[in-house]
Homo-oligomer: A and B are copies of this chain.
């Protein structure tokens, strides 16, 4: 389904080629997490990979193209986030644990991929449809199931909030907290306290009730 990996000029990549390509991607990933996006240069990536800029351009049209590749890989991984909600209960104490696990898992995922997600977020904000789509895929892996959970709970305790809007808000909040956790620290919220606070808000959003002691 992925089709064959191809070079920019149309040749199919063999074993060695794919290795080189992967090495370039790895090095780019590394560069992204150590220097500002604006300063990431093809020549640096190539140097780090022990190859030449010309080789880079064989496999990717430009830096952005390679970044998209990494981002798509990450978006694939994001399906694992669905498991944080799949078949979980929102009732009583177990419900709050569900909420805590969700927050935990989401923050961990974001932290693991924070460099690439930063770039994806920027691209999306700048209106680039490709980055926007990737960002939505990641967020939807949580927003989808979460919206379902909210809708299911509203069936019991009818409230007048649009489930889509609410789950979207909650996921946006999680993303924002993950990307800018330092802001919360500056507001006097200790890292340790951040997670419970987020979990509380998620629980409140889904069930509409205070969590059991």
A212: shortest Cβ distance to chain B, in Å?
13
Q: Contact partner of A180 among B118, B161, B172, CB < 8 A? A: B172
Q: Are B176 and A189 in contact (CB under 8 A)?
A: no
Q: How far is the CA of A162 from the CA of B128 in the complex (A)?
A: 37
A9 on the interface (CB 8 Å rule)? no
In angstroms, Cα B135 to Cα A165, docked, is: 25
Query: Whole-angstrom distance between the alpha carbons of A143 and B136 in the complex?
Result: 27
Asked whether, in the complex, the Cβ of A183 is within 8 Å of the Cβ of B135, the reply is yes
Cα A122 to Cα B201 in complex, Å, equals 26
Interface size class on chain A is 35 or more
For this chain, the copies found in one complex come to 2
Chain B CB within 8 A of A132 CB: yes
Say yes or no: A172-B173 contact (C-beta < 8 A), given A136-B183, A139-B183, A161-B200: yes
B132 A122 Cβ-Cβ under 8 A: no
Q: Are B168 and A184 in contact (CB under 8 A)?
A: yes
A182 at interface by CB-CB < 8 Å: yes
Known interface pairs A36-B126, A165-B197, A172-B177; 20 further A-B residue pairs with C-beta atoms within 8 A, sorted by A's residue number = A37-B38, A37-B122, A38-B63, A118-B125, A121-B121, A121-B122, A124-B180, A124-B182, A125-B179, A132-B182, A159-B210, A161-B200, A164-B187, A165-B194, A166-B201, A168-B184, A168-B187, A172-B180, A173-B173, A173-B176
